Amino acid sequence: MFITLAGIEGSGKTTQIKKIADYLESRKQPYILTREPGGTEIGKKIRAILLDPESKGLSSKAELLLYAADRAHHIESVITPALASGKFVICDRFMDCTTAFQGYGRGIDIALIEKIHDIVLEGLKPDITFLLDIDPEAGLTRAISGLTSGERCVKESRFEQESLNFHKRVREGYISLAEKEPSRFFIIDASMCMDAVAGKITEIIENIGSFRIGD
């Protein structure tokens, strides 16, 4: 099963991906955790460019293509082999994040993004996408607090420095995507405590029909 997590900054994706790992571990299910950008050694170098606040002059189209390059390599080297071996793949961000951030957030033509997805994904789609939904102002407050406390890396804070309106557009994009694919997306209220969020996620994973754990 291929599971992805999506959401604006501060929605708790990193915390919840670890909770999913704990759940699968307790069920003795083989899995890998990965992320975008940066799920490979080459991807880490791309991530450093994309998330560095010093890269603020990066053009929107260059940003889009760097994400596509990271994803193409990530799919070929990590995701496809893991799925082929029967493992759960749990990924922190994937294609929907590009549509939300670079499409709705940056204003790049969605049709162009979809063409790039067609080339890079070659038909691959997540089985489940959890959209951790939170008010953008609350999410940014969480994210900035994480930077101040050292829980988040200051060298990876380029998107935390974007305007509140940018993050509102990204959230609207996510909601729009979820409405278009209700069978794949599960919207989770990320303002709940992390254990309540984790409980909702594991319940969905366990009861998703043919993917039910232990079947």
Section 193-209 average pLDDT: 90
Over residues 36-45, the pLDDT tens digits come to 999 999 999 9
Tell me: pLDDT of 47 over 60.
yes
Whole-angstrom distance, CA of residue 36 vs CA of residue 93? 5
Q: What is the pLDDT of residue 155?
A: 85
Q: Which residue is it, tokens 């405590």?
A: 193
Tell me the pLDDT band of 211, cut-offs 50, 70 and 90.
very low
Tell me: pLDDT of 209 over 60.
no
Share of the chain above pLDDT 90, in %: 87
The domain ranges of the chain are 2-206
Beta bridge partners of 34: 91
Section 209-214 average pLDDT: 44
Q: What is the pLDDT of residue 215?
A: 42
Whole-angstrom distance, CA of residue 209 vs CA of residue 198? 19
Residue 32 has phi, psi (to 5 degrees) of: -135, 150
Q: What is the pLDDT of residue 153?
A: 82
Over residues 130-186, the pLDDT tens digits come to 999 999 999 999 988 887 877 778 888 899 999 999 999 999 999 999 999 999 999
Q: What is the pLDDT of residue 145?
A: 87
Q: What is the pLDDT of residue 149?
A: 78
Q: At residue 36, what is the residue type?
A: E
CA dihedral 125, 131, 136, 139 (to 10 degrees): -110
Tell me: pLDDT of 66 over 80.
yes
More confident residue, 50 or 157: 50
Q: Which residues contact 74 (CB under 8 A, 6 or more apart)?
A: 34, 36, 39, 40, 43
**CA 162 distance to own-chain centroid:** 18
Whole-angstrom distance, CA of residue 187 vs CA of residue 180? 13
Tally the C-alpha atoms within 13 A of residue 146's C-alpha that lie toward its C-beta. Answer: 20
Q: What is the pLDDT of residue 48?
A: 96
Whole-angstrom distance, CA of residue 123 vs CA of residue 18? 27
CA dihedral 70, 75, 78, 80 (to 10 degrees): 180
CATH number given to 2-206: 3.40.50.300
Indicate the DSSP class of residue 157. -
Over residues 99-139, the pLDDT tens digits come to 999 999 999 999 999 999 999 999 999 999 999 999 999 99
Q: What is the pLDDT of residue 105?
A: 98
Work out the angle at residue 17's Cα, subtended by the Cα atoms of residues 13 and 21, and round it to the nearest 5 degrees.
Answer: 170
Indicate the DSSP class of residue 214. T
- Which among 70, 40, 188, 194 is positioned nearest to 128, based on CA atoms? 188
Tell me: pLDDT of 210 over 70.
no
Report pTM: 0.92
194 touches 16 (CB < 8 A): yes
- Which among 165, 141, 163, 136 is positioned nearest to 152, based on CA atoms? 141
